[in-house]
Structure 1
């Protein structure tokens, strides 16, 4: 974990002016496709490139430790007015640990949200979205369930998705216990978490047997197509923190042998029929390999008659939900998403 001294050093470095940060990051603003990266994230990207990653020696355990250290430095301050409880949900063969965010001021019209963190199915934790889930709970006056699903390679696909589904169905059954509308819940997540949310929305849509359709799907820079070869996969292949090498590392550890990555349970963006899906909030990041697939999915949802609220945060990189303290722009972005998600949760019930 990061020490208080490391945190202070990073905070002081990022507190410099935009000009000073650009000077320390190669001297020129990083602009791609007419979009300019936030200077604080450009500085972090520049530092990451200087250090480099030895992927031949990288392990999931090391990458998890680095992610946890990043959460400690960049996770932001606590949100008041929200109580947190640990809950355990019975899965097929084990209990799924979760964190339940309960606002002190409730709005009984707002639906419960089930949220899944980022990490390629291999890394990430409840800490990476802690501030964000707290903000949504407070803003909406609704319970938010953050799911600590199983990770690969210890538990390869579809173990994490199974946990995500179990947590969603538990929320549907238990929403009323926590002051939310009976028998309803929403799904959401960032990156791989957005993948889970999209898959569950598809699998639970009204035409499925014994379905419990979500009232809303929140998709933040979602991973939707694991065989994608769009322009953004190349334009931002070296962008921090998600690079082409990182994606290769995730897939190598996440997928079972001989599994087809184009299968819709893994790549929901390849599902042909997108009708009868719940309202979607789709947020993309400008400096992100997954930019094009997220925006293409939003386009296809709209074409299928699904209501879509969307926005591209052009100056931000993939993963910004986990870095609210890195830049005021990231904090503003997650505040906006929390406000719009809260409004949708109130309207969805």
Structure 2
């Protein structure tokens, strides 16, 4: 992407809230008493005007669009963090990961394994590049971002297995990076939160994570909650996008209600790791994220919940699109750092 196009996009977003709303239909976008950030309202309007018909959509096109969005709005990593490549040996695959190692370390802070968004179909290490560096610096802890394999080339459960391999490696190797021995946390946004929630459930009795960070997590592939309909046209996660992802990710014979696909469907949530759960206001997944936080609390799990009402799904990948998104990243990084240090 040319520097000129990037400059022009950010120049357009630098206009006043009033100008951005005027350029996006003339009225603020308000649903359920929540008002969408004007910069994201402008981006949503632009996306609708330029949308490709879904019958012409391909995985390659959607991946290219996602990568372009990361390039435009992902931002640079923060300073004071060294970045290294690390390969983790999985069941039949060497999983690429990126380690974020803070210059100033806090040896009390647990290592965090992070999984990016993308429905199991799109996304990359670049998707959460800035956020992972913020987490590492704020906590003084190593953060491992995982390049799990994507569908449709690798359908369920391959991506999950890559994430599990990375988590197990982190638990076994945390001390190498100055973190507490034999401990690690899991986290992710959207599909990444989905993987984190499943890992927290599967390892609750063997190698339980010290924390699960769930950002607008996909925890119920069978959901028919009101937000699935109220925000079915909300950029960037629309009903058509969700349907496309599910068709690519799930093998034909798999039950989408299986707890390894829909962790909200697990009957017993007792004994799980403490959770930080964050949702976005303009998001189909809003209700299921809130439901999961409520169920964790009801099961006696220490849980903190917050909804960023003015933001859309995927805001972790768009910190430079709006000051509100950057502020959300900083808040989540600060609260996660406190939890990793055991002071939350």
Q: TM-score range by the shorter chain?
A: over 0.9
Aligned Cα root-mean-square deviation (Å): 0.9
Do 2:116 and 2:123's aligned partners in 1 also have CA atoms closer than 8 Å? yes
The residue matched to 1:118 in structure 2 has which SS?
coil
Matches of residues 32-111 of structure 1 in structure 2 within 5 Å?
A: 32-111=31-110
Do 1:114 and 1:167's aligned partners in 2 also have CA atoms closer than 8 Å? yes
The residue matched to 2:53 in structure 1 has which SS?
coil
Aligned residue pairs: how many? 344
Matches of residues 154-169 of structure 1 in structure 2 within 5 Å?
A: 154-169=153-168
Q: Residues 195-242 of structure 1: CA distance to partner in whole angstroms, max 9, x if unpaired?
A: 000000000002xxxx10000000000000001000000000000000
Partner of 2:252 in structure 1? 257
For 1:139 and 1:153, locate their aligned partners in 2 and report how far apart those are by CA, in whole Å: 36
Pair 1:284 & 2:287 matched: no
Do 1:14 and 1:326's aligned partners in 2 also have CA atoms closer than 8 Å? yes
Matches of residues 1-349 of structure 1 in structure 2 within 5 Å?
A: 2-206=1-205, 211-347=206-342
TM-score (norm 2): 0.99
After TM superposition, the runs of 4+ consecutive aligned structure 1 residues lying more than 6 A away are none
For 1:47 and 1:315, locate their aligned partners in 2 and report how far apart those are by CA, in whole Å: 18
Q: Residues 270-314 of structure 1: CA distance to partner in whole angstroms, max 9, x if unpaired?
A: 111000001000000000000000000000000000001111000
**Structure 1: runs of 5 or more not aligned:** none
Do 1:215 and 1:348's aligned partners in 2 also have CA atoms closer than 8 Å? no
For 1:72 and 1:51, locate their aligned partners in 2 and report how far apart those are by CA, in whole Å: 18
The Cα of 1:133 is off from its aligned counterpart by: 0.2
**Structure 2: runs of 5 or more not aligned:** none
The residue matched to 2:341 in structure 1 has which SS?
helix
The Cα of 1:45 is off from its aligned counterpart by: 0.3
For 2:252 and 2:31, locate their aligned partners in 1 and report how far apart those are by CA, in whole Å: 36
Do 2:228 and 2:284's aligned partners in 1 also have CA atoms closer than 8 Å? yes
TM-score (norm 1): 0.98
For 1:238 and 1:53, locate their aligned partners in 2 and report how far apart those are by CA, in whole Å: 14
